[in-house]
Amino acid sequence: MWVQHQIQLAARSRGFHLITREVVESIPELADLRVGLLHLFLCHTSASLSINENADPDVPVDLEMALNHVVPESLPYVHTLEGPDDSPAHLKASLVGVSLTLPIRDGRLVLGTWQGIYLCEHRDRGGRRRLLATLHGE
């Protein structure tokens, strides 16, 4: 079986946002698979996707803080047409990545006990984000 869904994510503020439940609820066919893969592709250049700890609310705060330290807005960027957060957002998306591939077993995503899917919004006002979910399995 091959299935593809486009998931429209609501606009979120800058930071790391847990979207696991939103993704799973948008793909009802997931429950029909015994074994398979879910590929997620974020159709944007200034946001990214990550798997990380989903239990402690301090983790996304620390992730955002550390990424801002690695890619500060204070560098003399040339590409600033859309504001001071524009180039840093592109760099962060390149570092973190815009796609994930997750295993499926018995109708569920196979994630570790404390793992969740995050939308990493790198713009102050990034707007709605489009996620393409491709499901493959039997």
pLDDT in tens, 66-104: 999 999 999 999 999 899 999 999 999 999 999 999 999
pLDDT in tens, 19-76: 999 999 999 999 999 999 999 999 999 999 999 999 999 999 999 999 999 999 999 9
| Residues paired with 132 in a beta bridge | 6, 41
Instruction: Report the alpha-carbon angle 47-114-58, nearest 5.
Output: 60
Domains of the chain by start residue, with CATH = 2-137 (2.60.120.460)
In the DSSP assignment, the letter for residue 10 is: P
**Number of other residues whose CB lies within 10 A of the CB of residue 12:** 19
3-state secondary structure of 84: coil
Q: What pTM, to 2 d.p., does this model score?
A: 0.95
